[in-house]
Amino acid sequence: MKMILLAGIGLLAIATAAAPATAADLPIKAPVYKAAPIDPWNWSGFYIGGNVGYSWGNSDTDAVFSNATSGAFLFAQSNSFDMNGVIGGGQIGYNWQFAPTWVLGIEADIQASGQDGSTSFLCPGTICSAGLTAIPAASAPSTATLNQSLDWFGTVRGRVGYTFTPTILAYFTGGLAYGKIATDGTLSGFNANGLPTTVSFSGDTTKAGWTIGGGIEGRIAGNWTAKIEYLYMDFGTVSTTAVSPLIFVPAPGTGLRADFSSRVTDNVVRVGINYKFGYAHF
């Protein structure tokens, strides 16, 4: 009996000593790694933002001098001048992303503008002052100065874009452009006594036209995107008239009239930043 008990104790000791080695030989299960969550960014939704840039505008202006009383044509001249300046404003819009890579959108913006420029026109005295006897007509030209500014403008445009990556969008855009164009200046000449005389004129109008352009926009962090954009705008023709009843003009009648017709166009380069609503991933 004693021998049996000792044999049992020995077998238990051997089994206990062998257990760690057996456990060590068992295969260890590899840890499970989960894939990183996919960022669900897309371009659909409302956005609002601001921008700043520079505009290279141009005014192609025709000036026609005529007899203020009879309307008889006297002289015409054309000049082109720049209307450049800094611009800045804000925009709001909505995008629809469809398929994996295409985006449609609509955007409206409003801009303050520091664009202005000026030019002058001259009607030779031998034409506009022919018949003046108080002084030589050749030394009595009539002149007009013209200053124009684009005080503010806005656009309402459609956008068609293509995503080169999920967060980088290139787009074409086009639609309505409108803006306030202000004009002022002077009309100068000589009266029947050969004395210089000058009258001032001014006016402004809100013109509607069209615009086309394109840009690139990309997500920079969270809900924020940044863009660079180019627009060409055409505001059509702006008309202004100046009249001085004192300036001597050839008979019949007295007084000089100048009619100005300006075609105003603009080239805009601007950078902007937008905040897209409905997205909160960082």
**C-alpha span between 43 and 97 (Å, rounded):** 6
**C-alpha span between 215 and 157 (Å, rounded):** 13
* pLDDT at 5 (0 to 100): 35
Closest C-alpha among 65, 39, 61, 30 to residue 221? 39
Per-residue pLDDT of the chain (282 residues), as tens digits, is 343 333 333 433 333 444 444 444 445 555 555 555 556 788 999 999 999 999 999 999 999 999 999 999 999 999 999 999 999 999 999 999 988 899 999 999 999 999 999 999 999 999 999 989 999 999 999 999 999 999 999 999 999 999 999 999 999 999 999 999 999 999 999 999 999 999 999 999 999 999 999 999 999 999 999 999 999 999 999 999 999 999 999 876 789 999 999 999 999 999 999 999 986 554
Question: Residues near 58 by Cβ (< 8 Å), separated by ≥ 6?
Answer: 80, 81, 82, 83, 264, 265, 266
